[in-house]
Structure 1
Amino acid sequence: MGERIYASYWLETGDDPARAAEVIAGEQSSGTFIALPSETPALKARSGARVEKLEVLDVVAAPSLAGGMTSNTYSRCKLELSWPLENIGPSLPNLMSTIAGNLFELRQVSGLRLTDLELPSAFGTAYPGPAFGIEGTRKLTNVQNGPLIGTIIKPSVGLSVAETAHHVHELVTGGIDFIKDDELQADGTYCPFDERVRAVMRVVNDNAERTGKKAMVAFNLTGDLDEMRRRHDLVLAEGGTCVMVCLNSVGLVGLRELRRHSQLPIHAHRAGWGYLSRSPQLGWDFAPWQKIWRLAGADHLHVNGLRNKFSESDESVIAAARSVLTPVMASAPMIAMPVFSSGQTGLQAADTYAALGCADLIHTAGGGIFGHPSGVAAGVAALREAWVAAIAGVPLTQQAERSPALREALGFWQ
């Protein structure tokens, strides 16, 4: 028996659950809407998807999604399907079509969410995963302990090249570890990519020569394949140590090809994640989704942040971060670095550390740094002190007694 792909779902259906499960399995493998003579028992046994588990959780009176079959009751279930690896081979784009393709559109389906994914070792052989991950990122930034203290250049768009470089100067002289472009900052008229990279890296390199500390800057090179390769090469030539890409914008092939070309860590932004995840009755959980992107080569993955400005719960954020730190498979761990962002300050440090159980992360704060009354350097220092306190198990107020920057920050981190 060959290796198999396993995917788990939350399913809601107005049909008999067992029949609906078989319809889904057929649609996503050898079957179609009518029985065909060519789908022989031997072919189905070889290539058909299998219903591995089906458990009815409860029954409701109304469907979650419109447009499906009409019924008096709708069953909500746990469903696990499996496919023979031989159907698609170790191919991430074709895996996506198999586990998350037409099944969402079936009439029998009034709700469906992909909750887990287990892949055969052949995927770990075919895809290299992160080139740098946590260890490589720490080596490039020379941050061996604690989180990387980071920020996002704001405003998102509208700053000139000179204004951007000025912000970066404030940050690097203030001791920041990590800086990233906003996902909306790409190659616009006000701040062209090439000019931005050259100006920013002059500041970063000059500061590194003076202090010995070189901040990592993730430049957003999201674009067509040739654009991304060329932009990567410019960042590398200017002494940069990271590039950033928006995953849903460039797709699996885009990330895979960038990974093949890149000599730098790939900072992966999940812009658009809400349209895949926000409805609990439709889409993806983060755990299976991020596994695919780590295989394709993401070194850092955004997971939102505690008490964030978006709709995601703290429990979901921590589950996402833990999934990024969990091996993809025993033979190929491919651990990436979770990135916490969205309305973050030092107030979330202790809870983040306690919930995650480690500090292998990038903690980015925008307003929490730039808004410090004593300036950017004090904002960086305050966030760093908050993490010193978190790891030591010391209350922020106690840590603030020996840190004026933190003490002042507590007055505006609200």
Structure 2
Amino acid sequence: MPAVASLQADEQRFSADYLIETPLEPAHVAEVMAGEQSCGTFVRVAGETDQLRQRARAEVLSVDEIESVAEPSLPNAWQQRQHIGGPYRRARIRISFPVANVGPNLPTLAATVAGNLFDLGEVTGLRLLDVKLPAAYRRQFDLPRQGIAGTRTLTGVADAPLLGTIIKPNVGLSAEETAELVGRLCEAGVDFIKDDEVCANPAHAPLKERVQAVMRRVRAYQDRSGRRVMIAFNITDDLDAMRRHAELVEREGGSCVMVGLNWCGFSAVQSLRRSTPLALHGHRNGFGMMSREPLLGMSFAAYQTMWRLAGVDHLHVHGLNGKFSEFNDEVVASARACLSPMADGDAVMPVFSNAQWAGTVRPTFDAIHSSDVIFLSGGGILAHPDGAAAGVVSLRQAWDAARSGVTVNDYAKDAPELRRALEFFGPRLK
């Protein structure tokens, strides 16, 4: 990997975009942010020479004021002590940082673009919108070991979406009961099966027993059918345990493990990436606490940038018209971000889930114009009135219709599984 000193001039800085709210002059606050996250503090200190500031200080690239509001989005004790009130001005700002300040250090990169910025007294709202890295700098971090191409190779699915489901109920099934369910799902024709995020290594179904029992069924099914089904075992744990779990999955012939990203952290996931060739299925549960308040936290664009640097191969983006709080345009933007390369070959597969069924396929495809997705459907498969196999077929038919430009209703005229799905789920999910 190239050293920072060898980078071209336009590759020696990266940038971050923010939305801020403040009762002060936004341009002044932007300068405070730049200083706070590089070589400055609230006053110039000993050793902070002009030469040092020129070399290491972050730079404000733009400040675009957009609106003012009468009330602050968040409480602020510093402003109360200073007797500062509204109106509260909102602005989008872009700040550029020297690569040399950070190097290929993911936790420090995260601390640089976020860190104490959320605590600044000058702001009553701050949100990290995006992080843009030069391709050469991005390549100094971990790349996906499998990514889109590798995932397709491991599953044998050449160009269609990977259709899958989640093992439910997520708590209560024994290892053998889980394996029996996986066997039925394989026979139903799915490409991908994953654990639920809250089922990792429970006493009633220890991970070792579950992996061994499940993989016996998966190997037997592959021997009979020639089809390779990818199982994303939830190995979320401490780092040493996750490495052991991944080695177990690999020994048993598995191809994928799932990690709860927010609870394991950047360093653990990076270390896991470097120790296993398995596909890393990144589950974002907990992301809502970072994203739901419009003037706090971070957008998925920034979030996925940093997790891709940890080397994940798949990232959850929720789903259209789903059961969670996100608007459809947020889901679409998240999927597009995953599919947009930051450097050659580093795109990751977006994972659509939550209340997905044949009826959400066409809007999904029309929005992203790609089949490089993992499309998970629980009830849309398992609750199909004609059984799980018909549920899988209904999804394939819906994707075939979407990619062919045929309306789902027209395609359903000669596709009984799809027609039954529309009749059964349609009235319930309006």
The answer to whether residue 35 in structure 2 is matched with residue 35 in structure 1 is: no
> Match of 2:377?
365
Distance 1:76 1:128 in 2: 35
3-state DSSP of counterpart to 1:31: coil
Aligned to 1:18: 27
Alignment partner of 1:411: what SS?
helix
**CA contact 1:91–1:123 (8 Å) conserved in 2:** no
Tell me the CA shift for residue 310 of structure 1: 0.6
Alignment check: 8 A CA contact 1:64 1:110 kept: yes
Could you report, residue by residue, the CA deviation over 1:66-116 in whole angstroms, capped at 9, with x for unpaired residues? 115232311111111111111121211100111000011011011111112
- Residues 175-211 of structure 1, C-alpha deviations (whole Å, 9 max, x = no match): 1100000111100011110111111111111011011
Shift of 1:174: 0.9
CA distance in 1, matches of 2:26, 2:229: 54
CA distance in 2 between counterparts of 1:121 and 1:142 reads: 30
- CA apart distance, 1:118: 1.4
Which residue in 2 is equivalent to 1:387? 399
User: Match for residue 323 of structure 2?
Assistant: 309
Q: Among residues 357, 360, 385, which one is paired with 1:345 in the alignment?
A: 357
Which of 402, 409, 413 is 2:414 aligned to? 402
1:247-300 deviations in whole A, cap 9, x for unaligned? 101111111011101111111110101011011111111112101111211101
Q: Which residue of 2 aligns with 1:255?
A: 269
> Which moved further from structure 2: 384-393 or 205-214?
384-393
Pair 1:123-2:137 in alignment: yes
5+ residue gaps, structure 1, are none
> Is 1:90 aligned to 2:104, yes or no?
yes
Q: Do residues 8 (structure 1) and 22 (structure 2) align?
A: no
- 2:59 maps to 1:50: yes
Q: CA deviation at 1:397?
A: 2.6
Mean CA deviation greater in 376-385 or 402-411: 402-411
Give the secondary structure class of the aligned counterpart of 1:354.
helix
| 2:19–2:128 Cα contact (<8 Å) kept | yes
How far, CA to CA, are the matches of 1:333 and 1:60 in structure 2?
Answer: 43
Q: CA deviation at 1:401?
A: 2.6
1:10-409 equivalence runs, <5 A: 10-67=19-76, 68-69=78-79, 70-329=84-343, 332-409=344-421
Deviations 1:301-346 (Å, cap 9, x if unpaired)?
11110001111010010000000010114xx441101110011001
Aligned partners of 1:133 and 1:265 also within 8 Å? yes
* Contact 1:295–1:334 (8 Å) recurs in 2: no
Query: CA shift at 1:122, angstroms?
Result: 4.5
**Bigger CA drift: 316-325 or 386-395?**
386-395
- TM-score, length basis structure 2: 0.93
SS in 1 for 2:265: helix
In structure 2, how many angstroms separate the alpha carbons of the residues matched to 1:33 and 1:21?
13
Distance 1:50 1:397 in 2: 54
Deviations 1:22-41 (A, max 9, x none): 11111111112233232121
Give distance in 2, aligned partners of 1:15 and 1:353.
Answer: 44
Where 2:55 maps in the other structure, the secondary structure is helix
Could you tell me which amino acid in structure 2 is paired with residue 376 of structure 1? A
* TM-score under structure 1 length normalisation: 0.97
Q: What SS does the aligned partner of 1:169 have? A: helix
| Residues 217 and 242, structure 1, Cα contact 8 Å, conserved in 2 | yes
Q: What is the alpha-carbon distance in structure 2 between the residues aligned to residue 292 and residue 333 of structure 1?
A: 16
Deviation at 1:120, TM superposition (A): 3.1
Structure 1 counterpart of 2:419, which letter? Answer: R
Deviation at 1:124, TM superposition (A): 2.7
Q: Is the 8 A contact 1:131 1:299 kept in 2?
A: yes
Count of paired positions: 412
Distance 1:163 1:407 in 2: 32
1:333 & 1:74 partners in 2: Cα distance?
Answer: 43
Contact 2:412 2:418 in 1 (8 A): yes
Amino acid paired to 1:303: V
Percent identity, aligned pairs only? 48
User: Which secondary structure does the structure 1 equivalent of 2:248 belong to?
Assistant: helix
Q: Secondary structure at the match of 2:124?
A: strand
Q: What do you get for the CA RMSD once the two structures are aligned?
A: 1.3
